[in-house]
Amino acid sequence: MKSATRLAFTLVELLVVMAIIAILIGMLLPAVQKVRAAAARTQCQNNLKQIGVALHNYHDSKGALPTSRPATEHYLAPNLYHEAIFPQLLVGVTEGPPVWPPDYDQVGSWPMRLLPYLEQDPVIRMWDRVTDLPGLYAIHDQMKIIKIKAFVCPSDAIATRGPNPYRYEYNTYLGVSGSDEKVIDVQVGAGVTAQHASNATNGLFPTLHWAEHDGTNWTFWPQRPKVRFSTVSSGLSNVVAVGERPPSADRYFGRWLMTDFDTVLGNPNREPGLAPVDAFGNPCPSASYREGHVDDPCAVSHFWSHHSGGAYWLFGDGSVRFLPYSIDPLVLETLSNITGTGNVGGTGGTVYSSP
């Protein structure tokens, strides 16, 4: 008599097969994650190389690097704070009769000024349609939600997803304004002063200082300084131009269209009001290059990345190097100084061309 043909697995056999599959997945998953992380690091490095090529092409075309802030005597490009408080002082359109459309140097950030050299010319040409101040704000609101892949390290999941809660797309690469920031008392109203920094002068993207208010009138900064390669006495291979820093813990800073703390940062940053305390109310440590975390409010104030052990830096000569967090802070501060003097901590000289 023939035995009955078995047409199915037993429960034990199914459990064994499932256990084997689970083990194989467990073995393969870390390998897949490592491959993805390696690919993201490579793309992050390539983004910086692309930015480096664009900076050199911009310099060849314009004779200087793009300015870190709008090239104007007046306030920053549009942002939530200044739109509400000082709308008439924005974007450089109040120095005499407004001229429309605005010059690209009058609006936005240095990454925005690189767009024609990153095959994104149609984006920056959106400003050409502006005929008045309301139209300028309308274009700003349209432009801020455009994702520029070259400005985001793919290792940063938050920045990659975008936009932020205020509908700005992200940027994770910040220009180095220099190493000589110093905290100063700035008059912001009648009899009212506040401490500010954001005034570095010896980097490839110098920022100088804030405007001051005496209760009646504003005293504005001079026009933005323009750095030429010929003035980099330390040598282009010995100065950092751009470093990594993910968006802030509150997802506010890290916008590619904006300026201070979004696309430019001192190294070290000494701006006292940027991130005074951590999530537990403790004072933030020194804002020098070190490891950070996406939910740490202090992390907005210094360069860091999602890569293990350090971050990628674009140097003035266009090379990209991975610098570990263990690098001597004084060495990195010296690399942030274009003067070649080795002076840091507020004592470096200023080298840039006339506006």
Q: Are 99 and 243 in contact (CB under 8 A)?
A: no
Q: What are phi and psi of 62, to 5 degrees?
A: -100, -15
Q: What is residue 217's predicted lDDT score, i.e. its pLDDT?
A: 60
Rg (CA), the chain: 24
Contacts 24+ apart (CB under 8 A), 116-121: 117/53, 117/54, 117/55, 117/57, 117/58, 117/61, 118/50, 118/51, 118/54, 118/148, 118/150, 120/148
293 contacts 299 by C-beta, under 8 angstroms? yes
What's the rounded Cα separation, in Å, for the pair 318 and 204? Answer: 13
The whole-number mean pLDDT for each consecutive block of 10 residues of the chain, a chain of 355 residues, reads 61 81 78 74 96 98 90 46 44 52 85 97 95 83 94 96 93 95 73 78 80 55 73 93 96 91 92 80 87 94 96 97 95 91 42 37
- In SS3 terms, 223-242 reads as CCCECCHHHCCCCHHHCEEE
> Which DSSP symbol is given to 114?
T
Look up residue 110 and give its two tokens.
Answer: 């240095």
pLDDT of 66 reads 93
The separation between CA 177 and the C-alpha centre of its own chain, rounded to angstroms, equals: 11
Contacts of 288 (CB under 8 A, 6+ apart): 267, 268, 302, 329, 332, 333
Instruction: Let me know: does 260 contact 79? Beta carbons within 8 Å.
Output: no
DSSP string across 305-328: -SSTTEEEEEETTS-EEEEETTS-
Token readout for 36 is 């993805």
Domain spans, the chain: 40-335
**Which has the closest alpha carbon to 175: 274, 288, 52?**
52
Output the pLDDT for position 36: 75
What confidence score (pLDDT) does residue 25 get? 80
pLDDT at 100 (0 to 100): 80
Cis peptide before 272 (omega within 30 of 0): no
2 DSSP 8-state letter: P
